Chain A
Amino acid sequence: MLSLSAQLRIRLVVLVAVSFGVATWTLWKGETLRAEKDVRTLLEINYRDVSQGFTDRADYQLVSIAREIANRLGSSGRLASEDVAALCADQEIAEIYDIDTRGIVAGGSRLVGEKVRGEQWSEFLRLLDPDGPESMSQPDRPRTSDGKVFKYAAVRYPDRSGYIEVGWSEERFLRFLRQRAYGYTRSWHIDERGFIVFVDRDGVVTSHADMSLAGKTLQEATGLDPAAVPTGTLFRATIAGEPMFCYAGPVRDYLAVLADPVEDAFASRDRFMPRIAAVQLVVFAALFAFVSLMLRNHVSRAVRRIGDALRRIAGGDLGGRVDVRSSLEFSELSANINATVDALRTAAEERVRRFDAELELGRTIQNAALPSDFPESEHVRLAASMVPAREVGGDFYDFFWLDETHLAFLVADVSGKGVTGALYMMTAKTLLKDTLLADADRDPGAALSRVNAELCANNPAEMFLTAWVGVLDLDSGRVAFANAGHNPPLALRNGGAPEWIRERSGCPLACFEGTAYRTRSLSLAPGETVFLYTDGVTEATDASGALFGEKRLADTLAVADTRSPVALNLAVRAAVDTFVSGAPQADDITLLSLEWIGAPERHLRTFPCNADAVAASAAFLEETLDAAGCPPKPKTQLLVALDEIVSNVVRCSGASGLAIEVRLSRAPHGARVSVSDDGVPFDPLRVPPPDTTLPPDERPIGGLGILLLRKTMDDLSYRRAHGCNILSFRKIFA
């Protein structure tokens, strides 16, 4: 396909060529019409001259005769009657008259002594006027007296004593004309080569530039038919083989045919037209060049710039602008394109925003589900963090107390993203927590087996997750764990290199129904740490595509300045950030560090379940609290709480014995008291709270003890395990 520029140029060439043709043709036509008009005028003038000159000659002849007679008589006296006939014969005239100053015919052919009268003769009386002409002549015309055609002329006597009037009869006049007609126009040239042909009423040529043709018919001489020759108008004819402009008209009894060669008439046109055409050709060529240049500059360039801008936009640069302002149309086109691109960009951004909003919602759910109130204990320290990636994700961590001495902690990675992934993560997290809390043996493997069964039973999205779940026994430092396809954690030993915990329990959760996950264990010495993470750490990628990997992770942990969980997490995070150095984060990065500081201070005493147990247990608690430096108010509250629980157990449980365990902590300074009994299962926390607004007469007594515990204790929990009710409450002293 031709470029716009080429197409426009072709059209321009056609336009310029047509314009040139029209202009040249118009000029040619104009020149032709002008030349025809000129030749017509020329022929008309010549016709007038030839017509006039033909009879003027007769007047001149007749006046000459009269003058000669007047001159002759003027010296010898008046015309004598006897001289008239001789004079007439001599001068070949029909009549002669001598008119005196009074206008009386003094002598002549007729009417001697009479006064000049009649319209025809009276005209000559003007010769008697002192200011009148010296001579006069009249055209031939019929006389009033006898109707004969005569032609008269008169000349004044030189001494002004009257005038001589002479007349030709019609025959004489016609004879003169015949003589005159012969060869009259033989040397009459129109321009250079034009000529006039005289033809008599018989169609015989009397005069021609070529007198050898005289006596031939007009037909023979020129090819024209005298009867068919148009008169008073310009016409073309070919005479003697040459195209001629012709004009014909009557002269007395003759026909004058004037001819001028067409070639001569158009000589000027034919000479100048090529030059004019050449000049026009130059002008139009210049015009073409100019317009073509303008097209290239203003149109082609603008179109090319718009094309370039559109290519950039099509290439994905929606921020690109088209800014061609060389004309109103291109400005408008630019504005329209920009408006379209803006609309496109807005739509694209809207889609990105929606996508982002979904991811953001997923992240919000994900983040909101993560606990941030890390356990405050001087026996265990835990820190965890999750940095979500932009798109892929689904990591979570969790930790919660199973009882006073067992802390569950876990890290998991769901194979999903956005809202769906987040909801699945919520489900999995809730299931894991509920199942672990419900497991009397605090067995992570058993819990995972149940969670897996539950997840497999209802998994339309076919998602799965890896998880590492541990349960720390605060008293022993033993960690029971189960690993469902998750990355191996590291144990940071005192004075040793980080140790990979590679034991696994089974495949990821929600993959295969009926998978049984085995519980494994590791032991921590006081001050040792377990470090959990997700594959976002080991699979963090730098710009060249290299992975962070397990070795870098182990090295980072080995050289960490401090074993504090928060510091460890920060060190790993910093190492990963340095490694990827700005490359986008592909997956969530989750870190969890748990340090076992050591076993808590424990005081345990058992009592037989009888009425003495209330006082005995109170004494044991008071003794323990006093030794721990407990202030009076919390001590009072703890004693009231113990009184409520133990009295209830003694009164209602049917237990054989009960155990009181007191755990003291220094940071924060507080105590946790657990009361265990082997009586009938009973959860006092499920008793509905009493209505404390009733008047005394309507008040049931009961439930007030638990109400007091709820209001005064910092933490309160019940669980049933190993055939015992275990109620535990905690008070922070400060």
Chain B
Amino acid sequence: MTISKTLEGNTLTLALEGRLDTTTSPDLEEALGASLDGVTLLVFDFTRLDYLSSAGLRVLLSAQKRMNKQGSMKLVHVNDAVKEVFDITGFADFLTIE
């Protein structure tokens, strides 16, 4: 998986490409940990994300919890396979998906 980071003012956009699974989610976790200071809007661009597993969900949940304290978070360009995972797990209820 590759992660592209773009910071514009207080908005951090992460574009993920590939699979967000057990193997790759630690990379995302690491990428987020260093970059969220001062960010008020976190955007995940899932245009090129093939799928995610529960390991990825755990990272997203953690990010959501943090952004709830310092701003907001949204997901854009979510494909069907990923959307299905959010629906099944109830994440669709609290994630902002555009």
Expressed in whole angstroms, the Cα–Cα distance for A697 and B53 within the complex equals: 20
Q: Which 4 A-B pairs have the closest CB atoms?
A: A692-B90, A647-B22, A705-B54, A704-B54
CB-based contact A640/B51 at 8 Å: yes
Q: Which of A408-416, A526-534, A706-714 contacts B (4 or more CB under 8 A)?
A: A706-714
Question: Is B61 a contact of A618 with CB atoms below 8 Å?
Answer: no
Task: Please state if B23 and A707 are interface contacts (CB–CB under 8 Å).
Answer: no
Number of interface residues of B (CB under 8 A): 26
- A692 contacts B89, C-beta separation under 8 Å: yes
Complex Cα distance, B94 from A640, in Å, reads 22
Tell me, yes or no, whether B19 is within 8 Å of chain A by CB. yes
Specify which of B22, B57, B81, B93 is in contact with A704 (CB 8 Å cutoff).
B57
Closest residue of chain B to A641 (Cβ to Cβ) is B53
Is B22 within 8 A of A614, CB to CB? yes
| A-B contacts besides A692-B88, A708-B53, 20 pairs, CB < 8 Å | A614-B21, A614-B23, A618-B21, A618-B23, A633-B80, A639-B19, A639-B51, A640-B51, A640-B85, A646-B22, A647-B55, A692-B89, A692-B91, A692-B93, A694-B90, A696-B94, A701-B57, A704-B54, A704-B57, A704-B89
Where chain A touches its partner, the secondary structure class is helix
Which positions 63-98 of chain B face chain A at CB distance < 8 Å? 64-65, 68, 80-81, 84-85, 88-91, 93-94
Interface of B is mostly: helix
Identify which of B22, B23, B55, B61 contacts A696 (C-beta below 8 A): B61
> Which chain B positions have C-beta within 8 A of A236?
none
Q: How far is the CA of A215 from the CA of B84 in the complex (A)?
A: 167
Chain B residues with CB under 8 Å of A633's CB are: 80-81
Q: How far is the CB of A462 from chain B (nearest CB, A)?
A: 53
Binary B-proximity of A675-705 (CB < 8 A = 1, otherwise 0): 0000000000000000011111101010011
A550 at interface, CB cutoff 8 A: no
User: Complex Cα distance A701/B25, Å?
Assistant: 14
Does B22 contact A637, Cβ atoms closer than 8 Å?
A: no
Q: Mark A136-159, 1 if CB is under 8 A from B, else 0.
A: 000000000000000000000000
Inter-subunit contact B55/A708 (CB<8 Å): no
| Beta-carbon contact of B55 and A643 below 8 Å | yes
> Is B65 touching A708 in the complex (CB atoms < 8 A)?
no
- Do A707 and B22 have beta carbons less than 8 Å apart? no
Sampled A-B contacts (11; CB under 8 Å): A640-B51, A644-B22, A646-B22, A647-B21, A647-B22, A692-B90, A693-B93, A695-B94, A699-B61, A708-B89, A711-B88
- B4-44 CB contact bits vs A (8 Å, 1 = yes)? 00000000000000010111000000000000000000000
Write the chain A residue with the least CB distance to B82: A636
Shortest CB distance A608–B (Å): 16
Of A614, A699, A707, the residue contacting B88 (CB under 8 A) is A707
Minimal beta-carbon separation of A176 from chain B (angstroms): 168
Contact flag A697-B90 (CB < 8 Å), given A640-B51, A708-B53 = no
Say yes or no: B55 contacts A636, CB within 8 Å.
no
